[in-house]
Amino acid sequence: MADLLILPVLVPLLGGLLATALPVRSALVGTLAALATSLSGLGITLLVWLHGDLGTVLGGWGVPLGIGLSADGLSAALLAMASLVALAISIYAGSYFAGSAQARHFWPLWLLLWSALNGVFLAADLFNLYVMLELLGLSAAALGALTGKREAIAANLRYLLVGLLGSLTYLLGVALLYTAYGTLDIGLLGERLGPTPIAATALALMVSGLALKTALFPLHFWLPPAHANAPAPVSAALSALVVKASFYLILRLWTELFAPIADIGAATLLGLLGAGAVLWGSWRALRAQRLKLLAAYSTVAQIGYLFLFFPLLASLPPGTARDDLFAACVLMALTHGFAKAGFFLAAGLVQRKAGHDRISELGGVAQRMPATTFSIALAGSALVGLPPSGSFIGKWVLMRGAFETGQWWWLPVTVLGTLLAAAYVFRVLSRAFGLEPTPLQFVTNARSEIPALLLAFASVALLGLAAGPVWAILGFGAAPA
């Protein structure tokens, strides 16, 4: 049964190869492969839900040489989010790229990206994580430059170089760990690792390399141009999924591998960078002239919130309060995945229909595209953290944790970030209405509008009203009332 772990990596890889071999049929092959990948990812999540953690070593080789895969609650939660979001992006892309020459390049790269993403979530050793991260970075940069426009290529060239630097820094940390402890398996390393200088150096190298890839302030400079200039389905995938992969890795390494040395001082540094990201990202989103640039800066801010959890996690002993904080952090990451994907897909539709995405000239979009505007509003309310969205619960637990641990200084950051987020979301919505007559149709283009709408709806209702399963799959008790 654990052998099934290979499917979420293998299916999109084979689908991508097939889409390369059959360029004329790439959209059909790609859509079918996307469906199969999504089902396999959800299947693994179900298996983890029913039977607990899974682990396997491929090809019958032992642990040092064989490729180990494993899935626990954290991987399963992110795998499920990625499966649903990527399926919605695939359906949207089928309509977005219909009749365009970009389709035959999109599908192979997109399936390769998906394969690498699932590989990051499922890999059990540090070196395979490096290979998967590199594959993710290469396919993401190639996808981002798909339009062939000068700005897009320049931004994604920079993204590619930054990603390569981040991976290399991570790899140097892996080399140090192998020198000191003689293994690359995350579980074994976690048992052996002690508070030594070499482990501290490895922590600094690996986390800074990954922070560069996840665009933690002030290493976020590459993200806004790269995400804002990509085609809409690619922007959604980059913002919702690709930055989450390196964040997932930081969270896992920090809490499992480096627990003996990741003390409150190091965690506070991450928290401070997160606070900077929340304030600076939200401010730049408020000042952005273009809808997609606004969404990209909002991603910088939302990544910042996730890092505010680290100092609180470090100062709490293991117990219910710490479990709640951990689950709330994961819940915020999942909510942002759904909300930002929905936001970018809807922004892409606006850009297609209006021919631009300048926020000041969006008047009348609400009447011309009611479902799309509704998606932006729903996803926006999840970005702000209005109830009942998942990020409302996340921020609630975050602020409660800040009270309980006496670290009150994270409270004004959260409040100010929320206010700024409300300002930038309502700035878009207030411009979207015009004096045009309201049409009779709510949905104007079902195949591209419904995926965006469903994603936005999931971020608000599915994760907010039904947050319990996130706690359950992470192996914790009931969600906080």
CB of 369 to another protein, least distance (A): 25
Between 285 and 425, CB nearer to another protein:
285
Angstrom distance (rounded) from CA 123 to CA 116: 10
State yes or no: residue 89 binds another protein (CB under 8 A): no
Between 128 and 418, CB nearer to another protein:
128
Tell me whether residue 101 is exposed, middle or buried, using C-beta atoms within 10 angstroms of its C-beta: 0 to 12, 13 to 18, 19 or more.
exposed
Between 179 and 430, CB nearer to another protein:
179
Between 72 and 357, CB nearer to another protein:
357
Between 112 and 399, CB nearer to another protein:
112
DSSP-derived letter for residue 57 is E
CA distances from 405 to 263, 336, 362, 399, 401 (A): 15, 26, 45, 10, 6
Collapse the DSSP code of 56 into the 3-class scheme (helix H, G, I; strand E, B; otherwise coil) and give the result.
strand
Collapse the DSSP code of 355 into the 3-class scheme (helix H, G, I; strand E, B; otherwise coil) and give the result.
coil
DSSP-derived letter for residue 385 is T
State yes or no: residue 331 binds another protein (CB under 8 A): no
State yes or no: residue 168 binds another protein (CB under 8 A): yes
State yes or no: residue 154 binds another protein (CB under 8 A): yes
Q: Residue 233: which of 49, 103, 376, 384 has the closest Cα?
A: 103
Site string for another protein, 16-45 (x = CB under 8 A): ------------------------------
State yes or no: residue 127 binds another protein (CB under 8 A): yes
Q: Which of 14, 58, 157, 264 binds another protein (CB under 8 A)?
A: 157
Beta-carbon contacts of residue 122 (< 8 Å; ≥ 6 apart) = 5, 8, 9, 44, 69, 70, 71, 75, 79
Tell me whether residue 203 is exposed, middle or buried, using C-beta atoms within 10 angstroms of its C-beta: 0 to 12, 13 to 18, 19 or more.
buried
Angstrom distance (rounded) from CA 336 to CA 158: 25
Does residue 80 contact residue 41 with C-beta atoms inside 8 Å?
A: yes
For another protein, the binding residues in 64-83 under the rule CB under 8 A are: 64-65
Site string for another protein, 206-245 (x = CB under 8 A): ---------------x--xx--xx----------------
Q: Which of 28, 46, 179, 218 binds another protein (CB under 8 A)?
A: 179
CB of 304 to another protein, least distance (A): 19
For tokens 């995350």, the residue is 186
* Structure token digits, residue 43: 């299947």
Site string for another protein, 370-409 (x = CB under 8 A): ----------------------------------------
For tokens 């309980």, the residue is 404
Q: Which of 22, 36, 131, 443 binds another protein (CB under 8 A)?
A: 131
State yes or no: residue 204 binds another protein (CB under 8 A): no
CB of 27 to another protein, least distance (A): 23
Q: Residue 237: which of 359, 109, 327, 130 has the closest Cα?
A: 109
Does residue 296 contact residue 224 with C-beta atoms inside 8 Å?
A: yes
CB of 1 to another protein, least distance (A): 28
Angle between helices 410-432 and 370-384 (to 10 degrees): 170
State yes or no: residue 298 binds another protein (CB under 8 A): no
Q: Which of 21, 175, 411, 478 binds another protein (CB under 8 A)?
A: 175
Does residue 247 contact residue 333 with C-beta atoms inside 8 Å?
A: yes
State yes or no: residue 62 binds another protein (CB under 8 A): no
CB of 442 to another protein, least distance (A): 33
Angstrom distance (rounded) from CA 235 to CA 114: 14
State yes or no: residue 280 binds another protein (CB under 8 A): no
The amino acid occupying position 10 is L
State yes or no: residue 293 binds another protein (CB under 8 A): yes
* Structure token digits, residue 388: 């009942």
The amino acid occupying position 323 is D
The helix (H) or strand (E) run that includes residue 70 is: strand 68-71
State yes or no: residue 156 binds another protein (CB under 8 A): yes
State yes or no: residue 146 binds another protein (CB under 8 A): no
Q: Which of 27, 86, 93, 134 binds another protein (CB under 8 A)?
A: 134
- Taking CB under 8 A as the binding criterion, the range among 10-18, 172-180, 262-270, 377-385 that sits at the site for another protein is 172-180
- Taking CB under 8 A as the binding criterion, the range among 10-18, 82-90, 137-145, 300-308 that sits at the site for another protein is 137-145
Q: Which of 2, 4, 17, 153 binds another protein (CB under 8 A)?
A: 153
The helix (H) or strand (E) run that includes residue 55 is: strand 54-57
Q: Residue 163: which of 218, 243, 229, 105 has the closest Cα?
A: 243
Residues found near another protein in the complex (CB under 8 A) = 64-65, 127, 130-131, 134, 138, 141-142, 145, 148-151, 153-157, 160-161, 164-165, 168, 171-172, 175-176, 178-179, 184, 221, 224-225, 228-229, 288-290, 293
